[in-house]
Amino acid sequence: MIYRSGHSVLVQGITGKQGSFWTQNMQACGTNVVGGVNPKRAGERILGVPIYGSAVDAAWDGAIDISVIFIPPLQARAAVIDAIDARIRTIVVLTEHIPTRDIVDIHARARASQSRIIGPNTAGIVTPGEGFVGIMPGGNAEVFQPGSVGVISRSGSLGTLICLDLSRAGLGQSAFIGIGGDPLIGTTTRDALIALDRDPRTRAVALIGEIGGSMEEDAADYARGMTKPVVAFIAGRAAPPDKKMGHAGAIVSGGRGGYDSKRAALEAAGVRVTDTPNELARALAGLLAPSGVA
C-alpha cells in the first residue's frame, strides 16, 4: 500500500475530466503511469500511454502493481471487480457514494483474492520524491518532502495540512496513506500502521483519526507493541452525539466511536494525542530530536 518508484500504475477512467487531469499531475510527479482503461476507446493513446478495454487486458503479463479508480459510483463496482480479476495487488478507490451493497461485494471479493483495496472515498497515497496515486498534491514541494514520518489519515484535506506542518518542521514524510472516509473501507488504520511500522524509511507515525467506528481503538492495540513513536490527532472532539460530521464514517452512536474512547485507548497504548492538529508536528519534532529517537 506504499507507492515505490517504478511501481506500475493503471488509471481506470483515464479519459474523463478528473482522470486525465490527475494523470497529468501524477506523471509530472514521477508516477509510473503505464496505461488507462476505457472500453469505448481501447487501442487509442492518451497522455503518452495506451488505453485498454479492461484492467484484465492491461495486466495480461501481470505487470500492473496499482490501479486507481476514477469511475462514477454506479459503475465503480464493475471497475474494481475488473481490477481484482486482473490480479492487481493494490486498488486505490477514490470514488465516494458507492452503493453500500456494491461496497460489501467489492470487499468480499477482495478478501478472497490477492488484491488490497485502499478506500473507497480515499484521497490516495503519496511517497514524496517518488510519486503519488490519487488526488493529493503530491508534487507540491511545500506540502510533501522526503522525510521520516509516515502519515495515516481518513481525511485528504486534514492529511494535507499535517504534511504541510511536517515539511515546515523539517521532518518530511516517508509515506502518506489516505485510508478513506467511508464506513466500510478496505485498508484500516491498523493495517496502515502495520505497514508503516514495517517500513524501514519510517521512524515515526502521525495518525490522524476521526470520531466514528473503532479503527483508532483497533490501531491502539497494535501501537502498544511498537518501538516507533506514534502521535495522533482525533478530529470531531466537539461533535454532538449521533451526528454525522463530514465523512460518512464519522458518526457516533450510543457513545460508540466517540472522541473520549478513542483518545483513552490511544493514550493507554503509549500514543501521544494532541488537542489540535498544529501541535502534532511539534510533538513529533521533539520525539525525533537527537535526544529522542536515534
247 is catalytic: yes
Angle at 60 (CA atoms; ends 86, 29), nearest 5 degrees:
75
The C-alpha cell that represents 68 in the structure block: 486507481
Residue 118, sorted as left (phi over 0), alpha (psi -120 to 50) or beta, turns out to be beta
Cell 502518506 locates to 176
The candidate with the shortest Cα–Cα distance to 187, out of 225, 152, 217, 211, is: 152
Instruction: State how far the Cα of 89 lies from the Cα of 34, in Å rounded to an integer.
Output: 15
What is the DSSP code (8-state) at residue 236? -
Which residues, in sequence order, are bridge partners of residue 116? 90
17, 59, 124, 264 from 35: Cα distances, Å: 16, 10, 18, 46
**Residue 117: what residue type?**
I
Cβ-Cβ contacts under 8 Å for 7 (sequence gap 6 or more):
32, 65, 66, 131
99, 215, 217 from 210: Cα distances, Å: 22, 9, 11
- Give me the active site residues, please: 247
